[in-house]
Amino acid sequence: MSINLYALSIDAKDPAGLARFWAGLLGWEQADGNELLPDADTSFRLRFLHSDVEKDRPNQIHLHLTSQTPEQQQETVARALELGGRHLDVGQKPEEEHIVLADPEGNEFCVIEAGNKFLADTAFLGELASDGTRAVGYFWSKAVDWPLVWDQDEETAIQAPSGGPKVAWGGGPVSPKAPKNRLHWDLTVPADGDVDAEVERLIGLGATRLDIGQEGADAIPMADLDGNEFCILTGTRE
């Protein structure tokens, strides 16, 4: 692999507060810089970046948390509410068994019912469910060298060879994109890799370079085929 998914970065008015919420919910360690270090089943961390932009639409990516039993599902919901989350009505049907919540800054996530077969081989953080086309799923599979584990009815999903969370795209039609997504991927190139070569490889897969980005001189801002922002971090990383 020549490039890695380093982190899913989340915009927040209160990065430290939102990091505490997700650390408490996921059970991940909170490190310096409002970053959460993943558990043993997950290959990327969560980062929380300051932004004063108001949330005015559903996020392009939302998290799915898994449950081993109905009791665990209710325990996860109760813990989320105690930490400052809330129930969210997005038009879900009464017969649907997953529970839709929002974190303290309104970011949507779902607590999935026990026995969900699609997420049976994942982790507690089971899925990053994304609004996106089939083509963008193919792009990310090639970009980070994660195999496609689902490709049906325009829906795609990828998963690290070692397992853990899936990243999935629901196919078209895709909702109008926000001026900037509140969640984006940060990628890193290994120490012995060639950053410029990786940028060109991603452009060859259909990505584009952006003129400006949120993370300053230590990152190369880019966008995937659907226009979703991502960054290649160029500073020293663990």
- How high is the pLDDT of residue 1? 53
- How high is the pLDDT of residue 93? 73
User: For 103, which DSSP code?
Assistant: -
pLDDT tens for residues 111-162? 999 999 999 999 999 999 999 999 999 999 999 999 999 999 999 999 999 9
- How high is the pLDDT of residue 236? 62
Banded model confidence at residue 88, pLDDT cuts 50, 70, 90: very high
Q: Which amino acid belongs to residue 4?
A: N
- How high is the pLDDT of residue 217? 78
pLDDT tens for residues 190-233? 988 999 999 999 999 999 999 887 777 789 999 999 999 999 99
Distance CA 199, CA 180 (A): 21
pLDDT exceeds cutoff 80 at 163: yes
Distance CA 116, CA 34 (A): 32
Distance CA 75, CA 79 (A): 6
pLDDT exceeds cutoff 70 at 237: no
Alpha carbons within 13 A on the beta-carbon side of 37: 7
The number of residues making up the chain comes to 238
pLDDT exceeds cutoff 80 at 10: yes
